[in-house]
Amino acid sequence: MDAILSVVSILGLGALIISVYIFAVAARRFVSDDDYEEFAARADWVERSGQDRRQNRRPVLFPITIDGELITEDRRQGRDRRQRRAA
């Protein structure tokens, strides 16, 4: 019984130490401004287009085909859109 208690306490202490380490690394990386230049200089950021897709001022007429899918009516017409979507 003492051996089991010792093993459980050692594993618990190890888990506590690991969680404190993970918290410290996350706090240093995401809260402080130390590594901001490193993240800002990353090459894999997505270049954004200056044109916003919502700038289309023309009304959308139904039926319409978007990405090869025929949409017969605007589902945003009703009061409760979620029920209409589930149907």
Chain centroid to CA 26: 17
CA distance linking residue 21 with residue 13, whole number of Å: 12
Q: What is the DSSP string of 16-30?
A: HHHHHHHHHHHHHHH
The model carries a pTM of 0.37
CA 5 to chain centre: 41
pLDDT per position as a tens digit, 21-79: 999 988 877 776 655 566 666 656 667 666 666 666 778 888 888 889 998 888 776 66
**pLDDT higher than threshold 90 for residue 1:** no
- Give the residue with greater pLDDT, 15 vs 26: 15
